[in-house]
A and B are shown apart, each in its own frame.
Chain A
Amino acid sequence: MKKFTAIFAAAAVIASLSACGGQTDAAPAADAKSEGVMTYADYAAADVDTEVTIETYVQDKQGWWENEGVGNATFYTQDKEGGYFLYNMPCSKEDYDLMVPGTKIKVTGYKAEWSGEVEIVDAKYEIESGDTYVATATDVTDKLGDNDALSAYMNQYVTFTGLTVADRDGAAFTYGWDGSGEQGSDLYFNLNDANGNTYTFVVESYLRGADSDVYKTVESFEVGNTVDITGFMYWYEGPQVHTTIATVK
């Protein structure tokens, strides 16, 4: 075992030295991609099931969990061009803790689409040092009513203002999709835009649990409230924002 560790350490040192040796030019600018890494446009144009390699920045993450001894987590990530949803990416708890908002990572995986949500699955990652990036939420309120326009912001951090809490099964929200859950389950709520279009939003419990501010705020919603919502533009058979901030006006 000691021998293996020594060999591994030596290899790591050699690898890092050769990597340094390759970087003779100045460090790339924040938006420049490393060699072999796709731009967001390349990624968006890639077919489902093709292998993709991207560089992106962690914006948020769902809870870490183990499956058959393998750690996993789902990450919301974004670069300055677009968003990438990393579904159930195997990662150690130590790395999970390191991957705080802004952390730059290089990810190789397969592009997939599940019920309309474009994501990267079966992914591997490297944490990259250097620059960080935390996206500011883009206001896409004016895109409501046009799913094609909204889908252009898929997986990005977005915000909506001045929406009205609509009735959902006789209440302002439900625990679970149809009210079959209980406190701690995903919170679903419907919001109307100014044109009367109704959209379903969710507080995903693995992203923001029952103790979070957003969860409690949505629990305090009343039908007819005017609210602002910020979150990630997730997609399930249509837009379904994973909400991280809710404000009652």
Chain B
Amino acid sequence: MISLKKIKSHMMAFSLSALALGLAGCHGGNARGDFVMPESFDDSRDIEIVFWAKNDTNKTQTEIYAKCVEDFEALYPNVDVNMKLYTDYSAIYNDVITNISTDTTPNVCITYPDHIATYMTGSGEVVCLDDVINDEKYGLGGSEIRFDGPSAGEIVPQYLGELELSGHLMGLPFMRSSEALYINKTYVEAMGYEIPDIPTWDWVWEVSEAALAQNPDGTYAVNGQDVMIPFIYKSTDNMLITMLRQADAGYSDDEGNILIFNDKCGQILKEIASHGATKAFSTFKISSYPGNFMNAGQCILAVDSTAGATWIGSGAPLSDIHDSKKVDFETVVRPVPQYDAGNIRMISQGPSVCIFNKDDPQEVLASWLFAQFLLTNKVQESYSETEGYVPVTTKALNDPEYLDYLSKGGEDNGEHYQVKIDCVRMILDNIGNTFITPVFNGSASLRNAAGQMVENCVKTVRRGGRVDDEYLQGMYSDVAQMYRLGEQRVNAGSRDLGPLPKTAVILLLSLAAAWICMGIVYFRDVLKAKKSGKGE
């Protein structure tokens, strides 16, 4: 647990921040007022909207976005969609934050729910979709829509629910993915291990340590090479978040309380560090992409996004390494390692889309129409087929064309690349086993902090240090300070978020009392000083 001594100095900053946010109230920041749906879409004048799109450094995805824009503009000829391409969610996030202050946010952008929560603070003015989706004419599946989009009931409820922030729908899901454990079946079986349907952490650690066995000449027995990093996890923030969820340990809650600095988290970090110390385990940030090592036969277990499936495996259509470095092996896909194989927990992730409010309601309506267009079958299916993504609508999931695509897994190493389609099937089999983390202003920082702690622990042991209770105490303190955990926890709010939680009320009352006491003491001292004639 974080030491009281070290956290004390942060409390004043947190207190002031919390008080300021509390005083700002839940309705602050929305200078334009809520978006009100126009009676009808205005065809008579030109409307320009800006769309910031994210792709996975994947040319096919950018082509799909471009085609989507082209098709939409054909349906709404007076709307001009200007697209800007990104390959990184955090770059979009940083640019949106920068542009909020100058009121130059895009109209539509691909984003994460965590980021939307931050956009909602200040004057971010993300359009609330509570009423918008149900509008008779222009809502999802509305009567005046010029394309065959999904109705509200045709969006997978779990995915739509991920965009509910404080009880309000603040965006739409665009694609969903998860993480997968990619296994070099050929090498693992050669080591004498059977691959379980649901691998556990114990199994993964055991196999990883066993893969470090060396030949007399110093090469690794499993691959005959000089390099072997048995297990690499791409996203260490997901890693810790998932392990905590599987262990029923605290991370955060819906009120934005930071719960991550707990004993179970310490145990998990020590467990990870112990395998970092032997170099049975490493991370993307420390070593590089898991797929690069796996395809070279230098890694046998890799956890990466299903949206990276086309980079992993002997026949992977995408690769960063020279052909001469590739080795032949069979890849199998499994859910991420579990603590309890009978109670699978895996993260739900993937791009969502949000809309920013503008002065012109027609511009916002055009934005909303475009966002809906992203959910049409053609866009959903074509984009999902570029990687291990799952469409977010039942309309697309049940489309015979999509089902035909899934049935052709392994027919080729391009469109029907086996590993990619295995990933999609794995997600579809586990929709009920996925989870998301609470979204609040500051949840993006907490996520970064989780990853940072894994990286810190692994780096420390690699450098000869120890990860023990004392180390963890210090790291918790440093990370809490760096990521300002606790300072931003009052929920994002340009909207009415309901009554404050009891704990927050008590906190604010305590703070008010503290300030009153400080004021009394201050004025008493001033009076005393005046009486004694010394001044200050």
Give CA–CA (A69, B445) in the complex, Å: 12
Query: Is the beta-carbon distance between A181 and B482 smaller than 8 angstroms?
Result: no
Interface string of A165-185 (1 = CB under 8 A from B): 000010000001111111001
Smallest beta-carbon distance A197→chain B, Å: 12
Query: Is the beta-carbon distance between A115 and B484 smaller than 8 angstroms?
Result: no
Query: Is the beta-carbon distance between B448 and A181 smaller than 8 angstroms?
Result: no
Residues of A within 8 A of B287 (CB): 114
Query: Is the beta-carbon distance between B289 and A115 smaller than 8 angstroms?
Result: yes
Residues of A within 8 A of B482 (CB): 68-70
Q: Which of A51, A180, A237 contacts B292 (CB 8 A)?
A: A237
The reply to whether the CB of A122 lies closer than 8 angstroms to some CB of chain B is yes
Residues of A within 8 A of B84 (CB): 182
Interface string of B396-439 (1 = CB under 8 A from A): 00000000000000000000000000000000000000000000
What class of interface size applies to chain B in its complex with A?
A: 20 to 34
**Do A180 and B59 contact each other (CB < 8 Å), given the known contacts A115-B288, A115-B292, A237-B292?**
yes
Which residues of A, 131-186, contact B by the 8 Å Cβ criterion? 169, 176-182, 185
Residue of B nearest to A114 (CB): B288
Which residues of A, 94-112, contact B by the 8 Å Cβ criterion? 110, 112
Residue of B nearest to A116 (CB): B288
**Do A178 and B57 contact each other (CB < 8 Å), given the known contacts A49-B462, A112-B286, A237-B292?**
yes
Interface string of A81-98 (1 = CB under 8 A from B): 000000000000000000
Give CA–CA (A182, B55) in the complex, Å: 12
Query: Is the beta-carbon distance between A180 and B55 smaller than 8 angstroms?
Result: yes
Give CA–CA (A192, B320) in the complex, Å: 19
**Do A180 and B62 contact each other (CB < 8 Å), given the known contacts A68-B482, A237-B322?**
yes
Interface string of B49-75 (1 = CB under 8 A from A): 000000101110110000000000000
The reply to whether the CB of B3 lies closer than 8 angstroms to some CB of chain A is no
The reply to whether the CB of B137 lies closer than 8 angstroms to some CB of chain A is no
The reply to whether the CB of A217 lies closer than 8 angstroms to some CB of chain B is no
Residues of A within 8 A of B59 (CB): 169, 178-180
The reply to whether the CB of A220 lies closer than 8 angstroms to some CB of chain B is no
The reply to whether the CB of A71 lies closer than 8 angstroms to some CB of chain B is no
The reply to whether the CB of B87 lies closer than 8 angstroms to some CB of chain A is yes
The reply to whether the CB of B327 lies closer than 8 angstroms to some CB of chain A is no
Give CA–CA (A110, B320) in the complex, Å: 26
Give CA–CA (A158, B84) in the complex, Å: 34
Smallest beta-carbon distance A84→chain B, Å: 18
Query: Is the beta-carbon distance between B85 and A181 smaller than 8 angstroms?
Result: yes
**Do A180 and B87 contact each other (CB < 8 Å), given the known contacts A68-B482, A110-B463?**
yes
Query: Is the beta-carbon distance between B322 and A176 smaller than 8 angstroms?
Result: no
Q: Which of A49, A51, A237 contacts B321 (CB 8 A)?
A: A237
Query: Is the beta-carbon distance between B320 and A236 smaller than 8 angstroms?
Result: yes
Which residues of B, 10-41, contact A by the 8 Å Cβ criterion? none
Residues of A within 8 A of B484 (CB): 68-69
The reply to whether the CB of A50 lies closer than 8 angstroms to some CB of chain B is yes
Interface string of B309-323 (1 = CB under 8 A from A): 000000000101110
B interface secondary structure, majority = loop
The reply to whether the CB of B483 lies closer than 8 angstroms to some CB of chain A is yes
Give CA–CA (A98, B262) in the complex, Å: 43
Interface string of B268-301 (1 = CB under 8 A from A): 0000000000000000001111001000000000
Which residues of A, 49-82, contact B by the 8 Å Cβ criterion? 49-51, 68-70
Give CA–CA (A51, B325) in the complex, Å: 30
**Do A178 and B321 contact each other (CB < 8 Å), given the known contacts A68-B448, A114-B288, A237-B292?**
no
Residues of A within 8 A of B378 (CB): none
Give CA–CA (A236, B321) in the complex, Å: 9
Give CA–CA (A181, B65) in the complex, Å: 12
Give CA–CA (A110, B462) in the complex, Å: 11
Query: Is the beta-carbon distance between B463 and A49 smaller than 8 angstroms?
Result: yes
Residues of B within 8 A of A177 (CB): 57
Smallest beta-carbon distance A25→chain B, Å: 34
Query: Is the beta-carbon distance between A180 and B61 smaller than 8 angstroms?
Result: yes
Give CA–CA (A180, B55) in the complex, Å: 8
The reply to whether the CB of B466 lies closer than 8 angstroms to some CB of chain A is no
Smallest beta-carbon distance B52→chain A, Å: 12
Residues of A within 8 A of B462 (CB): 49
The reply to whether the CB of B264 lies closer than 8 angstroms to some CB of chain A is no
Residue of A nearest to B320 (CB): A237
Which residues of B, 460-518, contact A by the 8 Å Cβ criterion? 462-464, 482-484
Which residues of B, 68-103, contact A by the 8 Å Cβ criterion? 84-85, 87
Query: Is the beta-carbon distance between A68 and B445 smaller than 8 angstroms?
Result: yes
Smallest beta-carbon distance B164→chain A, Å: 27
The reply to whether the CB of B459 lies closer than 8 angstroms to some CB of chain A is yes
Give CA–CA (A6, B135) in the complex, Å: 65
Query: Is the beta-carbon distance between B445 and A176 smaller than 8 angstroms?
Result: no
Give CA–CA (A114, B459) in the complex, Å: 13
**Do A180 and B463 contact each other (CB < 8 Å), given the known contacts A68-B484, A114-B288, A115-B289?**
no
Residue of B nearest to A238 (CB): B322
Query: Is the beta-carbon distance between B58 and A68 smaller than 8 angstroms?
Result: no
Smallest beta-carbon distance B367→chain A, Å: 21
Residues of A within 8 A of B288 (CB): 114-115
Give CA–CA (A181, B325) in the complex, Å: 27
Smallest beta-carbon distance B314→chain A, Å: 17
Give CA–CA (A51, B57) in the complex, Å: 34
Give CA–CA (A114, B62) in the complex, Å: 28
Query: Is the beta-carbon distance between A181 and B87 smaller than 8 angstroms?
Result: yes
Smallest beta-carbon distance B495→chain A, Å: 27
Smallest beta-carbon distance A186→chain B, Å: 10
Q: Which of B87, B448, B464, B483 contacts A176 (CB 8 A)?
A: B87
Smallest beta-carbon distance A91→chain B, Å: 16
Which residues of A, 177-218, contact B by the 8 Å Cβ criterion? 177-182, 185
Residues of B within 8 A of A114 (CB): 286-288
Smallest beta-carbon distance B37→chain A, Å: 33
Residues of A within 8 A of B55 (CB): 180
Give CA–CA (A185, B289) in the complex, Å: 21
Q: Which residues of A contact B (CB under 8 A)?
A: 49-51, 68-70, 110, 112, 114-115, 122, 169, 176-182, 185, 236-238
A-B contact pairs, 29 of them (CB 8 A): A49-B459, A50-B463, A51-B463, A68-B445, A68-B448, A68-B482, A68-B483, A68-B484, A110-B463, A114-B286, A115-B288, A115-B289, A115-B292, A115-B320, A122-B459, A176-B57, A176-B87, A178-B57, A178-B318, A180-B87, A181-B85, A181-B87, A182-B85, A236-B320, A237-B292, A237-B320, A237-B321, A237-B322, A237-B325
Known contacts A51-B463, A178-B59; 6 additional CB pairs below 8 A are A68-B482, A110-B459, A115-B289, A178-B318, A180-B58, A237-B321
